[in-house]
Amino acid sequence: MSQAAAQSKKVSFRAKESTVCPICDENHQKEQMFQGGGRLIAGKLAQDLRRLYEKNKKFGRVSPLDYVMTVCPRCLYSSFPKDWNSLNPADNEAIRMATDSRRSYIEKILGPLDFTQDRQIVLGAASYLLGMDCYQLRGASVAPTPKKAVCAIRAAWFFSDLHDEFPHIGYDKIRDLLYQKAAVIYGYTLELMQNGNEPVDQAAGILGPDTDNNWGFDGVIYLNAFLTKKFKDQMAPKPEDQVLLLSRAKRTLARLYGSGKASKGKPGPIVEMTRELYDEYNTILEAMGGEK
């Protein structure tokens, strides 16, 4: 079989250049996804800005998100590629010292993992959980907060798919917990956009939250409002606190909605979804006796 024919049957390939782990010096060949060839069949855009993909008859399940995070197969250090080597000595030491706890934590959730194998749904989910864990130990200079937010919501998507495949294991509970974490971290990200305590612009290229459309800072505003509405009961058990929480998210959403109406440059889908979400906010707050 020719090399071209062999490639036409595969989803991914290994990079020729070795990737060296800055934590433990392990060498590995990063797996990357082939582009084109009819591998991806795009479906609809979900309310949480996830691009859904249809199952491919030839290749089966194909997800670009499987291959995004760089993960060391030895110490399980995980990051977005641009941050792989940008570790200061303190970050490096903190991540190195947490290696055993990181492995124990991920194996309790997903069992033993081998990142020398080809990526699939379990390794994809693990890559983002590990990313959240490692960015927790990174300094402000790499803007870890918005990157944790992206990792959290992508991990939630993976656990949603895992729950669909294995409905009796309890992956739905992990999914909902990750969505709630994403809601909180997106709220922190909005604050950082205003106070400048982290260089949030450093995350602009990966805010996504998915890989096909990077909605950037508009996506942060929208997702903060969407997730706040979805998980208001968990984020603020008291009704009066929920009203305050929702009112704050609505005011931010209103600015996005207003700028979308005023600018022809705003992409249509997010403007329409923002309008629908804004209307939902009005209905909910009116029912709760809050601002109208």
Instruction: Tell whether the model's pLDDT for residue 24 goes beyond 60.
Output: yes
Q: How many domains does the chain divide into?
A: 1
Q: What is the pLDDT of residue 259?
A: 67
223 found inside a domain: yes
6 found inside a domain: no
The domain in which residue 251 lies consists of: 12-288
Beta carbons of 10 and 25 less than 8 angstroms apart: no
Q: How large is the average pLDDT for residues 212-233?
A: 92
Per-residue pLDDT band for 255 (boundaries 50, 70, 90) equals confident
What whole-number percentage of the chain has pLDDT above 70? 93
1 found inside a domain: no
Beta carbons of 53 and 43 less than 8 angstroms apart: yes
Least trusted range by pLDDT, from 166-180, 215-229, 262-276: 262-276
Q: What is the pLDDT of residue 5?
A: 43
3 found inside a domain: no
To which residue do tokens 């495949």 refer?
165
What whole-number percentage of the chain has pLDDT above 90? 73
Per-residue pLDDT band for 263 (boundaries 50, 70, 90) equals low
5 found inside a domain: no
2 found inside a domain: no
Q: What is the pTM of this model?
A: 0.92
Least trusted range by pLDDT, from 51-55, 115-119, 169-173, 180-184: 51-55
Please report, as a single letter, which amino acid is at residue 228. Answer: T
SS3 string, 139-171, reads: CHHHCHHHHHHHHHHHHHHHHHHHHHHCCCCCH
pLDDT in tens, 81-118: 999 999 999 999 999 999 999 999 999 999 999 999 99
Least trusted range by pLDDT, from 108-112, 120-124, 233-237, 277-281: 233-237
Residues 6 or more apart in contact with residue 280 via CB below 8 angstroms: 229
Q: What is the pLDDT of residue 19?
A: 96
pLDDT in tens, 45-61: 999 999 999 888 888 88
- Please state, rounded to an integer, the average pLDDT across all residues of the chain: 90
Q: What is the pLDDT of residue 262?
A: 47
Residue 209 token pair: 């939250």
Instruction: Tell whether the model's pLDDT for residue 231 goes beyond 80.
Output: yes
